[in-house]
Amino acid sequence: MPNKIGFPRIGSYTEIIAKLFEELGTEVVLSSPYNEKAFKTAIATSPEMVCLPLKYTLADYIDILEKSNENITLIGYKTSSGRCRFHCYYLSQTQILKNLGYKFKGIYPIRSGLGTLFDIMAITGANLGEILFAFNRAYKRIKKLEEELYPKTGDIKIGLIGEIWSICDPRANLNIIKKLQNLGCYVKNSLCLSHFINDGFKMLFNKKRKLLRKRARKIFPELLGGHAINSLENFISFAERGFDGIILIRPLSCSPEVFIETFINSLAEEYKMPLFIQNCDEISSETNLENRIECFIESIRLKK
């Protein structure tokens, strides 16, 4: 019998990741795009000031466990830099799910970088060759999807920086990307899944990227988790490539992104770059967001 797995949704990439696991011989239980009951339970049982990714991924786990029997392995994500709270979330989520009375094999945290390959080997039982082929196919699908998600049209160039999950999951960012595109913006996401996968290789071989990382490290020399350092380097990159505005999307109270806020603000002043910060939380209001980004884009148009 194949291993049965479930994993939290991450926007439109969800189906591609599911297909990857299926191709490697596992049975995948997909969570529903939005299950209000599961989400309410997740909010009620999550620690009070925790960030949105814990709540949404927990809701996805609850939804999956409601659909499936005991014999399932849940998959969690673990960041390599390790200073973001997110890398411990699978532990508290396991405890919360147990407290709720669910029975499952456990949450298996997948590391980033090369660790991903070994973790997937352990979960699926597939060999390295099979995984690399499946990864290659998945990568092509991801690239194709991203071409559809981010068409290169629009007269205002907006760069997105921040935390990858909240940028990629429209539930978290209240569909900000579509909203910006509807306002006539060309949106460039610095943290697409493909960029995330490429980042390690680029750091090795791409001189420009290496230099940017160096400059970001100069601004903030301490280790930070999440995508805080990426946010700094991507800000510089967007500003120097002549973008019209930058939007920082992060979960409310996200510690790495909160740390670099001061530096991002100083960069915005230095480059005279319009900056908009969107904090994602379950209390965020969609109409409020619409109003704010419309103000943001209008003020950029005024400048042009």
C-beta of 44 vs 283, nearer to another protein: 283
Shortest Å, Cβ 265 to another protein: 5
Work out whether 303 is an interface residue with another protein (CB under 8 A): yes
Work out whether 295 is an interface residue with another protein (CB under 8 A): yes
Size of the site for another protein (CB under 8 A): 24
Work out whether 282 is an interface residue with another protein (CB under 8 A): no
**One-character DSSP codes across 120-181:** HHHHH---HHHHHHHHHHHHHHHHHHHHHHS-S--SEEEEEEE-HHHHH-HHHHTTHHHHHH
21, 38, 134, 145, 266 from 34: Cα distances, Å: 22, 8, 28, 21, 38
**One-character DSSP codes across 44-70:** HHS-TT--HHHHHHHHHHHHHHHHS-S
Work out whether 292 is an interface residue with another protein (CB under 8 A): yes
Work out whether 182 is an interface residue with another protein (CB under 8 A): no
C-beta of 105 vs 178, nearer to another protein: 178
Shortest Å, Cβ 197 to another protein: 32
Work out whether 49 is an interface residue with another protein (CB under 8 A): no
Work out whether 283 is an interface residue with another protein (CB under 8 A): yes
Among 70, 155, 286, 294, binds another protein (CB under 8 A): 294
Residues 204 and 114 sit within 8 Å (Cβ to Cβ) = no
C-beta of 86 vs 296, nearer to another protein: 296
C-beta of 74 vs 273, nearer to another protein: 273
What per-residue string of b and e applies to 140-151 under the rule 16 or more CB within 10 Å gives b?
Answer: eebeebbeebbe
Residues between 241 and 280 with contacts to another protein, criterion CB under 8 A: 252, 261-262, 265, 268-269, 272, 274, 277, 279
Please tell me the distance from the alpha carbon of residue 176 to that of residue 296, in angstroms, as a whole number. Answer: 13
Direct distance between the N- and C-terminal alpha carbons of the chain, in angstroms, rounded to an integer: 61
Shortest Å, Cβ 252 to another protein: 7
Q: Summarize as ranges the residues that interact with another protein (CB under 8 A).
A: 252, 261-262, 265, 268-269, 272, 274, 277, 279, 281, 283-284, 287-288, 291-292, 294-296, 298-299, 302-303
